[in-house]
Amino acid sequence: MELLEERIRQDGLVLPGNVLKVNQFLNHQIDPQLMYAIGQEFARLFAPEKITKILTVEASGIAPAIMAGLVLNVPVVFARKKKPSTLNDDVYTAEVYSYTKQVTNTISVDQKFLSATDHVLVIDDFLANGQAVNGLLEICRQAQVQIVGVGIVVEKSFQEGAKLIKDQGVRLESLARIASFEGDKVHFVGETDE
Ligand code: 5GP
């Protein structure tokens, strides 16, 4: 997605450890126009599929997921990283290890928000080693929903996540695919040298 790649080139900050900081428009301050365009693009890509629900994980997946939900006119469910006191025991859970934060979170979704009749599109902001998405897919399997596919805003294609998802036979669509970082420069998959 050209608009997104341009924005990453303009505002993305490459941090040590192959981490891209995008808190100008996605992870802290949010650009609603860009998020809406992202939602439209996810809707276009998955348009022929039946989708009844979108599943993401808090916090940064919520902005793109809610815009896709708006365009597709379906509810958006986000997995919680900490179990709130108001959440009862009827939850689906999965363990997610975060390489960026080096902690394991148990993510959970109230069972009443996912059922076997649902056709679910999973959305997240980043795909790195695939642990977050894998946890969401694990929850989908527990709920016995139809997994329509996975939509990612920024895929770091040099890490294992994409393979991990595709090896499970799950359709993956990433709007920006990063091939490598070189100093403070971002190289996208398929880009030609200027
Ligand atoms: P994974 O589970 O695929 O290894 O990592 C995905 C999660 O880690 C995303 O939900 C995102 O929050 C975080 N993450 C991974 N890599 C990056 C990165 O380069 N930049 C940012 N901002 N977050 C990242």
On whether residue 52 sits in a domain, the answer given is yes
ipTM over 0.90: yes
CB of residue 158 inside a 6 A radius of ligand 1: no
Query: Is 13's pLDDT higher than 70?
Result: yes
Task: Extract the tokens encoding 125.
Answer: 């902001």
Confidence of residue 100 (pLDDT cuts 50, 70, 90): confident
Residue 107 has pLDDT above 90, yes or no: yes
Q: How far apart are CA 7 and CA 76, in angstroms?
A: 25
67-85 tens-digit pLDDT:
999 999 999 999 999 876 6
* pLDDT score of 114 more than 80: yes
Mean pLDDT of 165-179: 98
Q: CA–CA distance from 89 to each of 92, 112, 127 (Å)?
A: 9, 11, 29
* 12: in domain: yes
| Residue 37 near ligand 1, beta carbon < 6 Å | no
Residues spanned by the domain of 108: 2-185
| pLDDT band per the 50, 70, 90 thresholds, residue 139 | very high
For residue 193, the model assigns a pLDDT of: 58
Query: Which domain CATH number covers 23?
Result: 3.40.50.2020
Beta bridge mates, 76: 54
Residue 114 labeled ligand binder: no
Residue 20, marked binder:
yes
For a substitution probing ligand 1, which of 7, 29, 100 has the most ligand atoms within 8 Å of its CB?
100
pLDDT at 52: 98
CA of 130, closest atom in ligand 1: 3
CA nearest to 55, candidates 41, 69, 43, 70: 69
What 3-state class would DSSP assign to 146? strand
CA distance 112 to 92: 10
Q: Is residue 121 part of a domain?
A: yes
Per DSSP, the residues of 17-86 read TTEEE-TTTTSSS--HHHHHHHHHHHHHHTTTS---EEEEETTTTHHHHHHHHHHHT--EEEEBSS--TT
**For the chain, percent of residues with pLDDT exceeding 70:** 96
Asked whether residue 133 is assigned to any structural domain, the reply reads: yes
Report the chain's mean pLDDT, rounded to a whole number: 95
Least confident of 2-6, 26-30, 86-90: 86-90
On whether residue 194 sits in a domain, the answer given is no
Give yes or no for a contact between 75 and 67, defined as CB atoms under 8 angstroms apart. Answer: no
What percent of the chain lies above the pLDDT cut of 90?
A: 90
What domain count does the chain have?
1
97 in ligand 1 pocket by Cβ < 6 Å? no
pLDDT one-digit tens code per residue, 116-131:
999 999 999 999 999 9
Q: What is the pLDDT of residue 194?
A: 54
Least confident of 95-109, 113-127, 160-174: 95-109
Structural domain contains residue 191:
no
Q: Is residue 105 part of a domain?
A: yes
The better pLDDT of the pair 179, 98 is held by 179
Residue 193 lies in a domain: no
